[in-house]
Amino acid sequence: MIGFIRRYFVKTVSIFVALLFVYAAGSKLLDFENFQVQLAQSPLLSAYSGIISYGVIVIEFLVAILLCIDRTRLAGLYASLGLLAAFTIYIFLILKFSDFVPCSCGGILEKLGWEEHLIFNIFFLLVTFAGIFILSRRSGAKALKTLLLSCITTIISCLLVILMFLSSENIIKKENNFTRRFLQHPILENGVFDLGVNSYYFAGMADGNIYFGNVTTPLFISKIDSGLLSFTRTKIKLDNTDHAFKSLQLKIKSPYFYLYDGNVPVIYRGRLGDSVAHTISYGDAFFNQLTVLDSAKFGLRTQRKLDNQYTIASLDLNREPKTELKNEILQKQVDGVFDIDGLLISDSESGNMVYTYFYRNQFIVLDSKFNVQNRFNTIDTTKTANISVIRLSDGRTKMNAPAFSVNKGFALFGNLIFNRSNLKGKHEPSSTWKNSSIIDVYRTDEQRYIGSFYIRNKNGKGMSSLVSDGHNIYALVDNEIQRYKIREGAFK
């Protein structure tokens, strides 16, 4: 019996391991696009998903061939030992050190859970070692040498996976090569309300309510409670309407609401719960964006008279001069207008501001005194605005080609940015992009990318804007407000 095992055990093991690798490689190859996408979502090896997706398939086929040839069977068994050790340590790292357990990929992996597959791998690892030991002893090799070589092969394979894991973490979170990491169910849709029309925009959040402005009826404040149950509208009465308004906008910062039109320029303020708004600023500054810092202090984006280039400015109604330009914040690349176009938002909790460029991969973190705290990059690779502009005879600049947009807007809460990207990352299916909006999550206190998630379109229309209170994310999609509960710890 022992002689029979010694005679046929090695060949049997070699055949079974070869079949395992052929089956696994073939399954990956037949559904290669899905395999790449799933591997790109790996929380351990996302940054190397491209090369690994090709490399693993080629290596598995080569090892299978080595196992089927008598002269190369021992080398094939050692290669199998290394490959199985790499797979085993990868699964162990997923189970013990990963932020989440991703979908499995590749043949048998689709049928087994991660714990079951760990046991499966350990079994084949031991069986392969037994095959190496028997074949080596048959060829006259010393037992100690065989054991030492097997240990070295196993250790090197494990170390390679660990080093790739550590390197991938640094690349994905700090030096991303535009490979997104999709988080494991970070949000769950748990409410929707039909607003009737799609002309609403978020004006702010206060006292458990979400407030909206409306581009077609700008003199109305609309609000809905966070449970999406009670929706009300209030008409605003202005103390002075003798202005040629072009675009009245609404902002909320408890306990006040603000109505403004920087083209005039004018700012009104009223108390929430009241319908009357009084003029608090007129003629102090022209601007095209405003964010509220406190009841009399604002962050503006305006244009300099000297060259019409965009710049950030502070407006403080309690000091003289009231307006102060902060020319060092926005950095010109092409024309100083389109290339630095972006969105300015403040966080109601910390008072910090964030400016995100539309046409390049950067956002700027400012404190309430307009000091630049950090300049961080998003995960895409567009460092320079890809735009083409022409200067008209009257000094104005116009785009003379479609712009390459990177970011489309964002929400800010605490030290998190929920950024709506306009670019597809590596290994992401085009079909999903056509049906969804992609949200990338970053920290504002360090160069760190947390992960990404999708918000589905409605009636062929994508999300127009979003806000967050830290517990939920609210998105405007077509004529609906949709509420998504944030899973505890999802963005830590």
Look up tokens 């804007």; give the residue: 465
Higher pLDDT, 173 or 119: 119
- Model confidence at 326, pLDDT cuts 50, 70, 90, reads very high
Inform me whether the pLDDT recorded for 462 exceeds 70: yes
Inform me whether the pLDDT recorded for 315 exceeds 90: yes
pLDDT, one tens digit per residue, over 212-264 is 999 999 999 999 999 999 999 999 999 998 898 989 999 999 999 999 999 99
Per-residue model confidence (pLDDT) at position 1? 47
Inform me whether the pLDDT recorded for 4 exceeds 80: no
Average pLDDT over residues 172-191: 77
Average pLDDT over residues 33-38: 70
Residue 273 backbone dihedrals phi, psi, to 5 degrees: 100, -15
The count of other CB atoms within 10 Å of the CB of residue 418 is: 22
DSSP states of 25-64: HHHHHHTHHHHHHHHHT-TTTGGGHHHHHHHHHHHHHHHH
Per-residue model confidence (pLDDT) at position 50? 72
List the structure tokens of 179: 């490979």
| Least confident piece of the model among 55-59, 101-105, 167-171 | 101-105
Inform me whether the pLDDT recorded for 427 exceeds 80: no
- Model confidence at 94, pLDDT cuts 50, 70, 90, reads confident
Q: Residue 75 to residues 80, 81, 144, 392: CA-CA distances in angstroms? A: 8, 10, 18, 71
Regarding beta strands 276-282 and 237-238, do their DSSP bridges make them parallel or antiparallel, or are they unpaired? parallel
Query: 270 forms bridges with which residues in the sheet?
Result: 257
List the structure tokens of 150: 């097997």
Higher pLDDT, 139 or 354: 354
Distance CA 375, CA 446 (A): 9
Strand order in the sheet with 276-282: 237-238, 276-282, 266-271, 256-261, 249-253
Per-residue model confidence (pLDDT) at position 325? 95
Average pLDDT over residues 314-339: 91
| Nearest partner of 379 among 176, 86, 207, judged by Cα | 176
- Model confidence at 175, pLDDT cuts 50, 70, 90, reads low
Tell the burial category of 153 from Cβ atoms under 10 Å away from its Cβ (0-12, 13-18, 19+). buried
- Whether residue 59 contacts residue 72, with contact meaning beta carbons closer than 8 Å, is answered with no
